[in-house]
Amino acid sequence: MISNIGIPGLILILVLALIVFGPKKLPELGRAVGQTLREFKRSTKGLIEEELEVELDPLSSQKQLEKKDM
């Protein structure tokens, strides 16, 4: 969907954002979006690593469950 926008569409979106939010608020919004994306990426990476650990090493997870039962 985003790939269909093109350069003129991006310029239009940036100009509209500049008009709506103003030049002082725009950098703050950019930082907030960047931090949100970074945190989302970090969380999904953590979830994927946890799933891989469970799938790749089922014996260790089974041993951990046995330890919890004792």
pLDDT of residue 12: 92
pLDDT of residue 69: 59
Burial state string for 35-57 with b = 16 or more CB within 10 A and e = fewer than 16: eeeeeeeeeeeeeeeeeeeeeee
pLDDT in tens, 57-67: 766 656 666 66
pLDDT of residue 40: 93
pLDDT of residue 38: 94
From residue 63, give the alpha-carbon distance in Å to each of 48, 49, 57. Answer: 21, 19, 10
pLDDT in tens, 25-69: 888 988 998 999 999 999 888 888 887 777 767 666 566 666 655
